[in-house]
A and B are shown apart, each in its own frame.
Chain A
Amino acid sequence: MTLNRRQFFKLCAAGAATSAISALGLMSEKAYAAVREFKLLRAKETRNNCPYCSVGCGLLMYSQGSGGKNSEHAIFHIEGDADHPVNRGALCPKGAGLVDYVNSPHRLQYPEYRAPGSNKWQRISWEEAFKRIGRLMKDDRDANLIEKNADGVTVNRWLTTGMMTSSGMANESGIATQKFARSLGLVAIDTIARN
């Protein structure tokens, strides 16, 4: 096809006019304004309890992954469990933001030890941690256990150490905690719900 200068200009003008008409809205387009894709589609749903206070709200935790052995199931969303009798789906602001606790870079992931007077934390093994805790507990208990009161009645009180327990416990773990702590003679037992 050969075009002279004038025909070329005519073609350009026709093209510009056509696109101008379509820009005026005379040409239809698909009215696709999709909502954001539902992000829990086929996510793995795991039930758990919120441990952050003694109310013990039920949680639904969502993680990616088909369950295949080659994928890591990182939690990306947590919301209330509507079937849980305690909260029936609701969560307080602390609970509503739990996913950021789970994935927090500040989360404690291993035992650490700060020596008295030091301002540095040093990583220690679980073995060292348990040994150290056991040693200190035994030394303190041996030194300070009150076996009998003034009237000579056996009381077995250990008043110089207290114990902080989980707050979101079921009856079963609650009674196990009581048995452990009371058998040592501990009187001061509290939960993190008071934080």
Chain B
Amino acid sequence: MATQDIIRRSGTSEATPAAQARVGGVKQVAKLFDATKCNGCKACQVACSEWNDLREEVGSFQGTYQNPASLSPECWTLMKYNEVEADGKLHWQFTHSACMHCADPACLKACSTSGAIVQHANGTVDFDSDKCVGCGYCASACPFDIPKINPVDNKAYKCTLCSDRTAVGLEPSCVKTCTTGALRFGTREDMLFYAEKRVAELKDRGFTNAGIYNPEGVGGTGMVMILRDINDPESYDMPKDPQIKVSTELWQDVLKPLGTAGILATAGVALLHRITVGRNIVEEDQPGYRDEDHEEDSK
């Protein structure tokens, strides 16, 4: 079961890694979003909230079909309607905005709570809400601005890649519902193979800048995108070169081990002092002497 296939967990050091035995055996999965096939129908957004039992409050009109304005604790998949002007024409570029399931997730790195964020052997990055303390480090660390803190229970939420569905062999809810085939699900290998074929096809048809968005800065992503212009991912509201922040790496990889080393060193020095110098024994004739053996008697 999925409870046993965790390969990475937050709040643990490399000295005590999560179970690694299944890393080689379980196929990495990926969701492929082909932006050139998406017609912005929002079925993925609805299917996501339906499956995950989320009902975001109906918001107000913001001058765009995008609603809610951004991802939220009760909206884990959002159809973004980017209006881009190029060659004197308006391009309506849709982004299926949800967790990217990075191979090297910044949220997991930033999380200090043991096991609140885990990575399954198939590459899915999942939050264990019950363990979350709501510090918000994941939300500020994520280069894609995905996790959101719920003010009601102070816990972080995001897309799980429908880990409850994939655990029993089903595709994520958004992928199943997609009418245009803009969303696909399968092994990472298969999705990249298909994406390359599709990009070649797009280039043949004159979309010379078409390309695969699979940023290396986060080790590649579990959601791969095909964009009309790969040189301008910002036009899809995606970062050009997402990275784990230096501050996150400094905090988790340098400062925290240093802190632990400091505590251990203090204990070690105290022990060494006890062995080499020993107790501070007060002589009988000095002030402050207390006779422990006869303390009770003297009262």
Contact of A79 with B260 in the complex, beta carbons under 8 Å? no
Cα distance A82–B170 in the bound complex, in angstroms: 11
Question: What 7 pairs across the A-B complex have the smallest Cβ distances?
Answer: A96-B47, A96-B46, A35-B163, A36-B164, A33-B128, A93-B43, A33-B118
Stretch among A24-32, A114-122, A172-180, A182-190 lining the B interface: A24-32
Q: Give the B interface residue count (CB, 8 A).
A: 41
Contact of B13 with A25 in the complex, beta carbons under 8 Å? yes
Question: Which residues from chain A sit less than 8 Å from chain B, CB to CB?
Answer: 4, 6, 24-25, 28-29, 31-39, 77-80, 82, 87, 89-93, 95-97, 99-100
**Pick from A4, A29, A37: contact of B295, CB under 8 Å:** A4
Nearest-Cβ distance from residue B125 to partner chain A, whole angstroms: 11
Which residues on the A side are within 8 Å of B167 (C-beta)? 35, 38
Contact of A37 with B177 in the complex, beta carbons under 8 Å? no
Question: Which residues from chain B sit less than 8 Å from chain A, CB to CB?
Answer: 1-3, 6, 9, 12-13, 16, 18-19, 41-43, 45-47, 49-51, 114-115, 118, 126, 128, 131, 160, 163-165, 167-168, 173, 176-179, 260, 263, 292, 295-296
6 of the cross-chain contacts (CB-CB < 8 Å) are A29-B115, A79-B177, A80-B176, A92-B41, A93-B41, A99-B50
Nearest-Cβ distance from residue A122 to partner chain B, whole angstroms: 29
Which residues on the A side are within 8 Å of B179 (C-beta)? 87, 90-92
Q: A93-B45, A97-B49 are in contact. List 6 more A-B contacts (CB 8 A).
A: A29-B114, A34-B3, A35-B126, A87-B179, A92-B179, A95-B177
In the complex, the chain B residue whose C-beta lies closest to that of A41 is: B168
Contact of B43 with A92 in the complex, beta carbons under 8 Å? yes
Nearest-Cβ distance from residue A52 to partner chain B, whole angstroms: 13
**Pick from A28, A39, A79, A93: contact of B42, CB under 8 Å:** A93
Nearest-Cβ distance from residue A4 to partner chain B, whole angstroms: 7
Cα distance A38–B164 in the bound complex, in angstroms: 5
